Amino acid sequence: MNLDVIREMHSVTTEIETWIQSTQFDADGYFGPTGFDRTVTLYETPVEWSFVLALIDGSGKAASFSDGTGRSQYQQLISAIRSATNDQQAYWFYGYDPDNALSVLSWVRENNYEYATEWNLNSFETSPAPEGGVSWLGLVASDKQWMLLLEHNPCNDFKITFHGTADLCALVTQLLNCG
């Protein structure tokens, strides 16, 4: 990879980071998706203090995505997003609300659908929000027209939502056979 390509990738990542902080954080400093025509909840389950505790206690429920491939539910989700958006370039980001006071954007990374994206989920366990706040992992289009958002709210729930146009939201739910 040459230096110009690296500079361009960094420039776009910085642009996405700036957009998130300037348009997806409200005046009080809290993160919340805004500027999209529609939002659909693709999955929601109760979660106790930790994912492990929810698994042991059985409070969490499996996602019901079904694209007929037999792959993991998460792989079906990412595949549906990839298909619905025609492999559009996107960027992962992770942040949290320490003690549910003011949001912090931790990182932004370029997405590559050719590689496993499951490793991004580790952030919920390795970098949780301090003092029990909400953590969020998102995938946003380079043109900022859609966003996949995974949110972990300890002692409450884990939720996956998709934000975009009404048509795109309908296509994603159709591809996943949900909603």
- Tell me: the pLDDT tens digits for 15-37? 999 999 999 999 888 899 999 99
Does residue 135 contact residue 129 with C-beta atoms inside 8 Å?
yes
- Of 12 and 46, the structure prediction assigns the larger pLDDT to 46
In terms of Cβ atoms closer than 10 Å to its own Cβ (0-12, 13-18, 19+), residue 15 is middle
Amino acid at residue number 2? N
Rounded Cα gap, residues 134 and 36, in angstroms? 21
Question: Between β-strands 147-153 and 135-141, what pairing exists: parallel, antiparallel or unpaired?
Answer: antiparallel
pLDDT score for 55: 59
Q: Distance between CA atoms of 151 and 149, rounded to whole angstroms?
A: 6
pLDDT at 3: 41
pLDDT in tens, 132-177: 788 999 999 999 999 999 998 877 788 999 999 999 999 999 998 8
Spatial distance between the Cα atoms of 101 and 135, rounded to a whole number of angstroms: 12
SS3 151: strand
Indicate the number of domains in the chain.
1
Band (9; pLDDT cuts 50, 70, 90): very low
Q: State how far the Cα of 26 lies from the Cα of 110, in Å rounded to an integer.
A: 24
Side chain identity at 1, as an amino acid letter?
M
pLDDT the model gives residue 131:
80
Cβ atoms of 133 and 96 closer than 8 Å: yes
| Residue 8 belongs to domain spanning | 3-175
